[in-house]
Each structure stands twice: as structure tokens, then as C-alpha cells.
Amino acid sequence: MIIDDVTFYSPAQTAEKTGFSIDTLRYYEKIGLLDRIDRTAAGRRRFSADDLGFLGILRCLRDTGMPIAEMRRYAELSRGGDATLGERIALLEAHDERIDRQIETLLAQRKHLRGKIQYYRDVSATA
């Protein structure tokens, strides 16, 4: 749907484009992650390209394990404009450091797992 040169997406289209369920989109709006979602005259939600862009960063944060409380803080800071850039950078850097630690842990666990696989292969080859 295009209104005044602005493209809007239905909740179903938004869910398809972002990978979030319609229930998750409603929940994110309810808890304040999404703010000022436009509505049709009938009261139905419609999402802008900007909304989809913001949902893209929320997808990234969620998929990398950021807790909802921190995602809410990020959303609040984002609405604060340029005055909150430093805080947003700090929040994202802290999350990035946690991701680095998770990757290191996963790589160590993967090495252990691959060692166990090789052990079983060696045992089965000699049996």
C-alpha cells in the first residue's frame, strides 16, 4: 500500500519480511520496542520501511542473544536522537563483547565435540 509516496506493509507482509511472527510484532509494540506504529482508518497496523529497518536491528539483537530489557533500552535510546549516540554505542559494544565471549566458548566446545567424534571414529575403525 502506498500513501503520499510512503510504502506501508501489512502485519503479514512485515512478518514475512522480518521473520518475526505477527504475535511477536504485537508483543514488541506492547512492551515498547516498537513505537508509533501507524494505523489505517480501521485501526489496523501498517508498518513503514523505517519500521522494517528498525525491526532488522531488533532481529540482529535478538538473534545474538540480547536480553529484552536491553533491547528496550536500545529502543528508548534510539528514540532519543543524536543525544543518545554515545549510550547506544556503549550498549552495542557491550553486547558485541558478550558475543565475542560466546563465540570463543562455542569454538572451544566445538573443538571438544570434534575430538569426541574423532575418538569414536578411531574406536569404530579398530573394532
Instruction: Say yes or no to pLDDT of 56 above 70.
Output: yes
DSSP, collapsed to helix, strand or coil, labels residue 52 as: helix
Which domain does 70 fall in, by range?
2-126
Residue with cell 501489512: 10
CATH number at residue 30: 1.10.1660.10
The beta strand positions in the chain, using DSSP E, are 2-3, 6-9, 38-39, 45-48
What value does the mean pLDDT of the chain take?
Answer: 94
Distance CA 83, CA 9 (A): 30
Which amino acid appears at position 45 of this protein?
A: R
What is the layout of strands, in order, in the sheet containing 45-48? 2-3, 6-9, 45-48, 38-39
Distance of alpha carbon 45 from alpha carbon 55, whole angstroms: 15
The pLDDT value recorded for residue 4 is: 54
Write down the pLDDT at residue 127: 76
Count of domains for the chain: 1
The DSSP secondary-structure symbol of 33 reads S
> In this predicted structure, what is the pLDDT of residue 5?
54
pTM: 0.84
Apex 13 CA angle, 56 and 25, nearest 5: 55
Question: Which triple of cell numbers denotes residue 88?
Answer: 547506544
The lowest-confidence range among 1-10, 69-78, 99-108 is 1-10
pLDDT at 66: 98
